[in-house]
Amino acid sequence: MHRLLVLALAASALPTISLAQALPFARPQLQVRGFANEPGRAPLLSPDRIVVRFHKGVDVDTANKLAAEVGLEVVDRGLYGEFVVFRSQPDMVDSYVEWFASQAAVDYAERDPIATTMATPTDPLWSPYQWNMFNHRALSNGRASNFGIQADAAWSAGATGTGVVVAVIDTGVAYENFGTFTAAPDLVGRTFVSPYDGVANDGHANDENSHGTHVAGTIGQVTNNGVGCAGVAYNCTIMPVRVLDAAGSGALTTIANGISWAANNGAKVANMSLGGGAGSTTLSNAVVAANNAGVSLCAATGNTGRQGLQYPAAYSQCIAVGTTRFDGRRPRYGTYGTGIDVCAPGGDTSIDQNADGYADGILQQTFAPGAPTSFSYYFFQGTSMATPHVAAVAALVRSVRPTYTAAQVRSAIETSCKDVGNTGYDTTFGYGIVNAAVAITR
């Protein structure tokens, strides 16, 4: 939470394969292996794709059927049928490659390498300052950042949030030139839809605080424009929903209205970098209805530094987001406890672990308090800053898995985290730090 804000917080056995006359397949012996596609290694490999070329005369449909019996999905047959691409669980890919390569009916089997357009953003503040989005082992001012969310690896795999509407339920967003308000320069070019101001009860959800604009930048800052910072789901569409006033506070009924607006106007993801010490029936009802409508709800656990999640994060329908710092530890301010689901970088402005001369906060463009036309780049800290990383990853998942339900998106995020703290789930970090590169393969 930016300290001036009140509420803005911010392997199971495989089935037996039926042998077919056309294919002398032997039953595969598979071993679960670690995810091998950690950027920094060459070549960059698709995390879940296997390419197989069968001998001429082989009944490829039969091969596909057999492969399906062990959980593989056919995703490409080659332009002229010269190869078949299967999708596998990422931790099984290497074992499947070995299995296919050992079959008498197979010419070759390999993982599918990735070529990219050099996804590293052209935004000048990306390196070294946006360590929170870096791939594992990428350097920030010469120091390895092993606790970023691997955003650029997800971009290299083609996930950018295209087609997904993300509601930023907050203090508003500097998204338009209207009256005394000015659009944030680094958000110019981002698509905005269905704005709603629950405080003024109109259709102009302009930010009077600065918090919501910073949050929106982490989700969808315009990227590769040679200006400022990058955003995680930089091709998503943002729905600005203002529920907190200029002081960063708001009634739970106003927040409930904002959630309902998002759910009824096309949002597939909602970011709530806000919270309070108590819930209400009205707020709970809005959260339940939005979840039932298929919205992925991401909410900040709080900045109390103590156990006990804030609301709405405490509701089970929300993905409750805790916070980490440059070294993957929990900052002193981070709220934790029963119900926390995942963590993401929220920064710690009391330290400079990468020794770049700046506090280790989360960097995005926003305006000076009280001056909504005076923009610069600010390092903020808080679960408010952590939560939009998770909302953006949800948008990345939905952009590559558009038929996924909210429950499937949640599962993709939770089962792909980088485990920190105690092994497995714990009440300090939940399932761990979100990993965009793996989440999009789940």
Q: Show which residues are catalytic.
A: 170, 211, 384
The answer to whether 402 and 268 have CB atoms below 8 angstroms apart is: no
The answer to whether 111 and 126 have CB atoms below 8 angstroms apart is: no
The answer to whether 106 and 94 have CB atoms below 8 angstroms apart is: no
Residue of 278, 312, 284 whose CA lies nearest to 383: 312
Cis peptide before 312 (omega within 30 of 0): yes
Per the rule left: phi > 0, alpha: psi between -120 and 50, beta: everything else, 345 is beta
The answer to whether 298 and 332 have CB atoms below 8 angstroms apart is: no
Query: Looking at residue 181, what DSSP letter applies?
Result: B
The answer to whether 289 and 312 have CB atoms below 8 angstroms apart is: no
Per the rule left: phi > 0, alpha: psi between -120 and 50, beta: everything else, 384 is alpha
Cis peptide before 128 (omega within 30 of 0): yes
CA angle 109, 114, 115 (to 5 degrees): 135
Query: Looking at residue 92, what DSSP letter applies?
Result: G
Alpha helices, H only, 267-424:
281-292, 383-400, 406-414
